[in-house]
Chains A and B, each alone.
Chain A
């Protein structure tokens, strides 16, 4: 029973990792950009929510009404002003520019909010849970997180294959030159993709901040979890990414049960094992 509980909790945490991962995966899919600052943007979104709550007294989940559009706008502007200029110049410029961005965000957060760890107070929902069976309690926040992950993956999947925006994403991803000939403006398509990625980042940031404490230097760790979920699941497959997040979450939960020092190590080892045995990931992109 104890182990079932551990695995179920691991699966639910996996939803959060999948949320970290989908934004990363979306950007890579559309413009082959790996955003090293992705984790720091998640933490920045958490701090944005923190600030909004301080100013307005809104509930953390309600703060998304402000945080989501601001994040999307930031992503759109960032892509147009900075990141678009680094594409098509080889792998170094986008990598190093987002790397610099990551350091700037971390130190900006440190300057503004100090190194103290914070938490968003979501009230009663934070600690309430229901009992599925004796010894297996499910918290509402983890469940909500997992439900959000499923909804985000489903929503992105739908958007990709059933909307004009998704069609433009797929077009620039398949062939940026031809899509431009067909009348798409690649620069704004990329900006839209980054805005969408930032929406997922904001959701992930707020849910993370309700679940656990956060501080300015947590970003790189979240980037690594998201990245591991992407690789475990297989590049270009969003449902695979969700599965990858779940596998990572379960591995960490089981590792933590064996020895607290093994929580992160177990996740990394599972990732390295999968990389060794099946480098294309468990569910590589097949027929969509």
Chain B
């Protein structure tokens, strides 16, 4: 009889999946059990979870280490303001449209920055983000360097009561946070995921086996740009105000995100989740330290990269090969040993 069988799921992963679904349901009900402050905190965590998962897909799985994702966060925010202010459409409708616009913009951007190899790609993406920042600062119709605000009337259009508006924004954040993790998970289980793994393991070999590397990298870059812009649109819908320096802040939208992913575990689905939770826990205790807090995060990220490049999740999963969200296959034996 066949003593071996190939499987993806394990008992642990089925449990994790069930728990995740349950958690999302509980979180979706938060407007009924949580205070406004709780909603804000969970919403912010979801926003960072989304940014971290997306950056991880880009850097950890596709090898595109971008230091310029703030370009799409800010772009998404500005698109939301443009659509809401000049077309007068519902801001919630503007979120997916901002994603679409970013997808279109990211194609020519990718054509340019993909010409830079490896580490120079990182700085190239940073230059693009600077161009976006300086460019939007020149647009006087959007407030130029000092930025602009969303009028109350537009927010009233979205929902008449304050509680309802807060709930809607919260649900959007939850959808983007959980949705990003699910997107990365499902993408990696698909044929594209298989191709990405092959590229990561050996670019030359995978290319000779017929994987269209540039096309796959472009597809991932564009998807991540679109999703990042949707997150950006939501961020500034919540803030109600946008200005170039805040919209394209490398510290807020990229540095912190990179630290979360690196500390949690780059190149794993679990890493960004752990990194985000750890970041918010640390912030509770250390945020008063201000710049020292950032130094601690930086030192932690360096230590992780040097000692355990797979991050905290790598330490937990280790050689046991644990996986809460398995994307590979494993061979299991059943029955008596031969």
Contact = CB atoms under 8 A, between A and B. Distances in A.
A91 B137 contact: no
Interface residues of B, number: 43
Given A110-B291, A223-B123, A275 B305 contact: no
Contacts of B259: 100
Nearest to A262: B138
B266 interface: yes
Interface residues of A, number: 43
Contacts of A100: 259, 262, 298-299, 301-302, 305
A99 B295 contact: no
Contacts of B240: none
Contacts of B59: 92
A227 interface: yes
Given A36-B67, A231-B120, A261-B137, A107 B302 contact: no
A91 B292 contact: no
A272 B122 contact: no
Contacts of B255: 99, 103
Contact of B112 (A32, A104, A227, A276): A276
B299 A104 contact: yes
Contacts of A224: 123, 126-127, 130
Contacts of A103: 255, 294-295, 297-298
Interface stretch (A81-89, A124-132, A142-150, A184-192): A81-89
Q: Does more than half of chain B's interface fall in helix, strand or loop, or is it mixed? A: helix
B316 interface: no
A236 B145 CA distance: 38
A107 B292 contact: yes
A24 to B, nearest CB: 9
Contacts of B130: 224, 264, 268
Contacts of A66: none
Interface string B27-44: 000000000000000000
A61 interface: no
B213 to A, nearest CB: 15
B95 interface: no
A133 to B, nearest CB: 34
Contact of A93 (B112, B291, B309): B309
Contact of A104 (B115, B119, B131, B298): B298
Interface in B244-277: 250, 255, 258-259, 262, 266
Contact of B266 (A92, A110, A272, A275): A92
Given A93-B306, A231-B116, A231-B124, 17 more contacts: A91-B118, A93-B305, A96-B305, A97-B301, A97-B306, A100-B302, A100-B305, A102-B298, A104-B295, A107-B292, A108-B295, A220-B250, A223-B123, A224-B130, A269-B131, A272-B112, A276-B112
4 closest A-B pairs by beta carbon, nearest first, are A34-B119, A107-B291, A279-B115, A100-B298
23 contacts: A82-B306, A86-B306, A91-B63, A92-B266, A92-B309, A93-B306, A96-B302, A100-B298, A100-B301, A101-B302, A103-B294, A103-B298, A104-B299, A107-B295, A220-B126, A223-B123, A224-B130, A227-B123, A268-B127, A268-B130, A272-B128, A276-B111, A276-B112
